[in-house]
A = this chain, B = another copy of it.
């Protein structure tokens, strides 16, 4: 069996061909210039060692291909008047995209100190990979980009995220054959099954095979072309192949392939958009372009007798000792002059007309797409009044609700309010219903383009819930969606959000950097709802227990990260409202889906969340004006329940003891103000936690986080933290807290152990607490259920 590998050459006029080629040469020249030159940018004199950068840090290999694609995308946009943005996936593609944005004028618009002339070119060259300058990857500093090319693997997911709910937009996505080997990229190909041709724009992936990584051939480049065609067809795409190393032929083939791809995209969109409402439609086979050109194309063919262009030796700088080695210096000069810079730039260093002939106008330019500076397009989210979802709380602990289900009501209203605007989406790995947010399906469906069976529920073209069993894809989609000026929420099992640790890192880094760029407008925050959390893995056990994402995130730039642990349904609503309105943050909200006591009514919840941490007077037993004997602090829904049960026990067993209950919602409040914008001053901290009384802190996650946040506080020596310590597995809710010494009885024992003088006075109480824990051990082994007195406990019971 043979598969046809489809190719199509365009008919290009001599002018068009000349313009494409001049443009490409100009970009290649500017790329090489950035890698090498400190002075003499226009080669107005022979190259001398002092014109060369002292440290040669760039990567040439991937750039000629990116420059070729930029030239061709310009042509395509101009010819078809397309609204286009591009995601540049390959690593170290920075200098290519920088060169092109400078040529198109967008670089100088956002950085007026780097004008589009000889002086600007000199600055452009100098700043690249130079201290205080710009990095080697397509970083936030690059106008037109929403994607850092550094880590590899997320380009295609970002592109799909950008295309969602942008029906007029074409998102080109250049995928390097290195990054194509990563898991996230491999999974992203299936994103075509979640793209609605009516409401969404199109993604045009361009798989660029230059054949090599740092030191190895790539898997994709060494696949027989027929096998690669099968793979891409298997992924649901319609591949178009372009390959060669003769520029003129490649120009024709690439132009032809891109035209054909756009024609097919338009046909798919037209068919879907013009179909009668309710018509059954087949999943579309979107085009993909496979471009095979040599790595380091147009660079030195051979250096020191070894082949370079077309091999892994082009990965970094093809000539590596230019300052020291006169032969390399001459070879560099020959290479640079091979682009004929005098044909490309006038005597003042401005690009000549031929180079700019196909540059699109204004915001059609890839460097100035407003989608790639999403904050420009961002609209305030119409969040419904929280009253629409809030639960009534007549008195603390009288009722229970599943917090995430209550949030689901708010999200349903929000889905309704954004039904026509289409700028809010929820993503998650097959868990929206499991996480009890499924009321949203009354307002929208799950986007699904594959076949639908009668038994299916909530699958819908144009649904704004995105579910796929890949946290990478969920995160990538959402990032792309947010970066292009929309809003969203990622709900995940708490343990498995670690799957995207590294993606979260990179997004936080992106925000940290873009916040420092005045021309980048603020975007909606990336909001995580972590639920099905560590304390309730009754179904799953140890493999699903991990509260460490909070620790991971709190290591990152404090100007970007925020962590909230609402203790009940209404506080979750307030936190959700807050994070959805916020900008340029990564917010982590941890909340349970299991029934949880309602502690605060909406008004109290608002006041409490506004403070971020506060005393729950109603729960404690302090005398007014005095200092408590002990502080019981808590953060997280399960720890809060155990602390309140401990306070309840203490009130009954040791009625004279002055207990203060403090609840923390916003974890960064525990930090000093110089370490986090939310940090509270020492005076405020002392007023909550005292300077010298024992504090028993029941925390949702790893206990040392609390120590790390508070180690500078006055009372730190008196702070005793209980939290998760990797114990427990498939078991009951109460047994989980017992295994980890976070249970109410243990907390009461901690209080007795730590309040001076109490150990002797309350020895009998301590013994009774120990007895209950012992009784629990036997009971649970026998019955598989919690002790009736625990399962039936209520704050408002006698």
Q: Could you list which residues of chain A lie within 8 angstroms of chain B, going by C-beta atoms?
A: 1, 3-4, 38, 53-55, 57, 59, 129-137, 139, 148, 150-153, 178-179, 181-190, 193, 213-219, 222-223, 227-236, 307, 310-312, 316, 430-434, 446, 448, 450-451, 453, 455-457, 459, 467-473, 495-496, 498-499, 501-502, 505-506, 509, 512-513, 538-544, 546, 548, 551-552, 555-557, 702, 704-705, 707-708, 711, 716, 726, 729-732, 735, 780-781, 783-785
Expressed in whole angstroms, the Cα–Cα distance for A702 and B544 within the complex equals: 27
Nearest opposing residue in chain B for A499, CB measure: B502
**If the complex has contacts A53-B784, A152-B469, A556-B726, are A498 and B509 also in contact, measured as CB distance less than 8 A?**
no
The contact sample of 21 A-B pairs, CB cut-off 8 A, is A57-B730, A59-B539, A130-B730, A135-B729, A136-B539, A136-B541, A151-B543, A178-B430, A185-B187, A186-B187, A186-B189, A193-B222, A214-B433, A216-B446, A495-B505, A499-B501, A501-B501, A505-B546, A512-B726, A548-B555, A557-B726
Nearest opposing residue in chain B for A449, CB measure: B222
Note all chain B residues with C-beta closer than 8 A to A716.
711
Which of B231, B468, B708 is A704 in contact with, Cβ under 8 Å? B708
Note all chain B residues with C-beta closer than 8 A to A136.
539-541, 730
Q: Give 13 new A-B contacts, CB below 8 A, not counting A55-B785, A181-B190, A707-B711.
A: A130-B784, A136-B540, A136-B730, A148-B543, A153-B183, A182-B472, A186-B189, A223-B450, A231-B235, A307-B455, A548-B555, A551-B551, A704-B711
B215 touches A538 (CB 8 A): no
Note all chain B residues with C-beta closer than 8 A to A310.
455
Nearest opposing residue in chain B for A539, CB measure: B57
Top 9 closest pairs, chain A to chain B, by CB: A231-B234, A150-B543, A183-B183, A135-B541, A186-B186, A230-B234, A222-B450, A498-B502, A183-B187
A730 touches B469 (CB 8 A): no
Nearest opposing residue in chain B for A148, CB measure: B543
Expressed in whole angstroms, the Cα–Cα distance for A543 and B514 within the complex equals: 13
A590 to chain B minimum Cβ distance, whole angstroms, is 16
A230 touches B227 (CB 8 A): no
A735 touches B131 (CB 8 A): yes
**If the complex has contacts A54-B783, A135-B729, A137-B543, are A215 and B433 also in contact, measured as CB distance less than 8 A?**
yes
Nearest opposing residue in chain B for A133, CB measure: B730
Note all chain B residues with C-beta closer than 8 A to A707.
707-708, 711
Nearest opposing residue in chain B for A55, CB measure: B784
Nearest opposing residue in chain B for A513, CB measure: B542
**If the complex has contacts A183-B182, A730-B136, are A131 and B781 also in contact, measured as CB distance less than 8 A?**
yes
**If the complex has contacts A133-B730, A473-B183, A498-B502, are A453 and B219 also in contact, measured as CB distance less than 8 A?**
no
Note all chain B residues with C-beta closer than 8 A to A133.
730
Which of B57, B228, B512 is A538 in contact with, Cβ under 8 Å? B57
B232 touches A132 (CB 8 A): no
B552 touches A548 (CB 8 A): yes
**If the complex has contacts A505-B546, A726-B512, are A187 and B193 also in contact, measured as CB distance less than 8 A?**
no
**If the complex has contacts A187-B182, A215-B432, are A54 and B131 also in contact, measured as CB distance less than 8 A?**
no
A425 to chain B minimum Cβ distance, whole angstroms, is 16
A215 touches B430 (CB 8 A): yes
A270 to chain B minimum Cβ distance, whole angstroms, is 23
Note all chain B residues with C-beta closer than 8 A to A433.
214-215
**If the complex has contacts A214-B431, A707-B711, are A785 and B539 also in contact, measured as CB distance less than 8 A?**
no
B468 touches A219 (CB 8 A): yes
A384 to chain B minimum Cβ distance, whole angstroms, is 25
Expressed in whole angstroms, the Cα–Cα distance for A57 and B216 within the complex equals: 48
A131 touches B784 (CB 8 A): yes
Nearest opposing residue in chain B for A732, CB measure: B131
| Residue among A188, A215, A316, A432 with most chain B CB within 10 A | A215
Expressed in whole angstroms, the Cα–Cα distance for A434 and B151 within the complex equals: 16
Nearest opposing residue in chain B for A193, CB measure: B219
Note all chain B residues with C-beta closer than 8 A to A546.
505
Expressed in whole angstroms, the Cα–Cα distance for A186 and B228 within the complex equals: 15
Note all chain B residues with C-beta closer than 8 A to A455.
307, 310-312
Nearest opposing residue in chain B for A472, CB measure: B183
**If the complex has contacts A53-B784, A216-B446, are A182 and B469 also in contact, measured as CB distance less than 8 A?**
yes
Nearest opposing residue in chain B for A430, CB measure: B213
B555 touches A135 (CB 8 A): no
Expressed in whole angstroms, the Cα–Cα distance for A148 and B209 within the complex equals: 36
Note all chain B residues with C-beta closer than 8 A to A215.
430-434, 457, 467
A430 touches B216 (CB 8 A): yes
A434 touches B214 (CB 8 A): yes
